[in-house]
A and B are shown apart, each in its own frame.
Chain A
Amino acid sequence: MPTDPWLAHIVSKFESEILADWIQHQLAADTLRRDLMSEAELVEQSRAFLGLLREAVQKGNLADTTGPEWTPVREMLACVSRARAKQGFTASETATFVFSLKQPLFARLRGEVGTDVDALGDAVWRTTVLLDKLGLYTAESYQKGREEVIARQQQEMMELSTPVVKLWEGILALPLIGTLDSARTQIVMENLLERIVETGASIAIIDITGVPTVDTLVAQHLLKTVAAARLMGADCIISGIRPQIAQTIVHLGVELTNVITKATLADAFTVALERTGATIAPRSGHV
């Protein structure tokens, strides 16, 4: 489909008037979020978008917004919707940015085309199809932006929740909190092994007090971590096994016989100290 003569005509002829109308519409609309975005910013975004739209409409074909003529427009929209996703706009508030341009454009089209109903209908239809596409693209970018935020938070949570703590010379502790899945086990394992190399630790205590449930899969992940640490030359002790979890492990028939297990981190620490040749004794006078 070739470029629409009427649309190209009005956006180049009335650019500043359309911009003024559009901004007025946006400011009057109840989807405006003054708490999240200043008026100056909105004006700036609207002006930039309308300018890019004018260039694209003049040279581009309206049927296909994925073409190279539309790249600047798409980039600008993606940028705006990602920024809005981070600022806390809803999906419809973000998409309204594009959809609210329809009314000022239609008003100008009506004024220019005059009484030729067929021509006016055509021009309005093409414009509405174009803006719908751009609006949907905005919504998609918004969603992508939100997904990126979620992915980043997941990553951060994973890193936060697997600290490796040095308890004593040669003794590391790994307090696990939350469910263990394969992706997390991988990160836990890597963190632990790297810290073993860094600190030269010979004993690692894996504390599972914060692990809500232990099923066969979680147990398998734990055993993998223990085996990998052993290959590096460090022994593992699993501590923090709650009474319920001890029962579950036995009912499931999970073999933990090759691993030292202790009920509390304190017990595990005592064993680890003994292994490394240190002891804790109360000072004389304190009993």
Chain B
Amino acid sequence: MENNILEVKNLKMHYVSKYETVKAINDISFSVKKGETFGLVGESGCGKSSVCKTLLQLLPPNAKFMGGSIKYKGKELIGLSNKELQKIRGREISMSFQELMTALNPVTKVKEQIYEQFIGLKMTKQEKYAKAVNLLKLVGIPSPEQRLEEYVHQFSGGMRQRIMIAIALAAQPSMLLADEPTTALDVTIQDQIIKLINSLKETLGMSIILVTHDLGVVSQMCDSIAVMYAGSIVETGDTLTIFSKPRHPYTEGLIRSMPKDDGSKDRLESIEGAPPNLNNLPKGCSFAERCKYATEICINQMPPLKEVGENHYSKCFHTDLLINSKGLIEL
């Protein structure tokens, strides 16, 4: 347990409005080790980004925290005052956001946006400038002195992502929450960003939580992953295990619905139907409706998170049926 930099236990968060309650996070637990990349994987609307925003408590006013604990370096984050949280945000845990054009400020220079991270640190102007130049060098932006004076719209998509990362790293956090860092990018640029984040992790010794829906990116970046569905973690374990031997029907379906890399033209196995609405979750397993293994018990009861292997958990009654399930790769 000493090794864990972050421990989340039984976290619950709902968005409450006059008309409905959207159950965005339903009782999830996971832990992130020091220096590892932890992936939160799932389809849109499954609550991946909400988890990140809950960790930093960057939530809109209608978000209601319903219980659980978030321990960072042994310290409880739930219930901290805003002032105390400010010391955590950016300096300890930092986040790079998905929508670059809305997250970055279009009317101030890149320089100013990096300087913002230094507020509260006693630094002279020269120190700030030198640090900013170094940051841009670190994330691989050529001619940093000139680029610091430019505005966000003058950068390409890949360069904007690099700036986002530079800003997130400015206050030397021990943990980075990266929300879909490569989603809007071309494959060649995506490849560059994947490798950049991987090398930064090693040189800076950071831990990373990566939010993504792209299994290829997960494979290239994550040490362990949690697969999310309808606000719950349905399977968690190390990447290699889950990719080779999935033990939850949803993970299995997700993996099988991807075209293979060997050029085979066998029919793709799709998961029929669509995810349930988060404001009206079923009583039992939220995946039961689309699951080919589902039985009576799945509809009536919520399955527990069962240990199916070393560090490998699956939230399903029928994990035994998946014991010979074939994944994306063979070991």
Q: Does chain A bind chain B?
A: no
List chain B positions with a Cβ less than 8 A from chain A: none
